[in-house]
């Protein structure tokens, strides 16, 4: 459920990723996984899971998954955020494509706000 443009950061920092594409159009995620393999990213670093509610709940509940990043609709995002947070995961949900930036508490707020 991680946004496609963020997966290189996860890989570069030593993490693996699990992509859960839309069940309506999984093509882009599948192509991305194939391109990652062709580029030499080791097996097991970029993973794809297909499904609907059961797949989402599996991701939210699995003890080895420590963080979830989601982009999508408000209803799904609220469910994912609540269920993942209840299971102790770090959560980041971009719902309705309106919160594309994060301003951390220790930043220079004036500079950050001018950039957003």
d(CA 49, CA 20): 5
| pLDDT tens sequence across 32-83 | 889 999 999 999 999 999 999 999 999 999 999 999 988 888 999 999 999 9
Q: Contact at 8 Å (CB) between 52 and 73?
A: no
pTM above the 0.75 mark?
Answer: no
d(CA 88, CA 91): 9
pLDDT category of residue 113 using cuts at 50, 70 and 90: confident
Share of the chain above pLDDT 90, in %: 45
Radius of gyration of the chain (CA): 15
Per-domain boundaries in the chain: 4-115
**How many CB atoms neighbour CB 110 within 10 A?**
8
> Which of these, 67, 70, 66, lies nearest to 93 by C-alpha position?
70
CATH fold for the domain made of 4-115: Aldehyde Dehydrogenase; Chain A, domain 1 (3.40.605)
């Amino acid at each position: 459920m991680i946004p496609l443009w963020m997966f290189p950061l996860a890989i570069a920092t030593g993490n693996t990723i699990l992509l859960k594409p839309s069940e309506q159009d999984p093509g882009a995620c599948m192509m991305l996984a194939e391109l990652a393999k062709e580029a030499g990213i080791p097996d097991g670093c970029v993973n794809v899971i297909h499904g609907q509610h059961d797949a989402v709940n599996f991701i939210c509940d699995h003890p080895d998954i420590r963080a979830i990043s989601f982009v999508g609709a408000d209803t799904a995002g609220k469910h994912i955020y609540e269920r993942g947070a209840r299971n102790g995961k770090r959560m980041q949900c971009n719902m309705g494509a309106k919160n594309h930036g994060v301003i951390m508490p220790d930043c220079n707020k004036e500079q950050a706000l001018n950039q957003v």
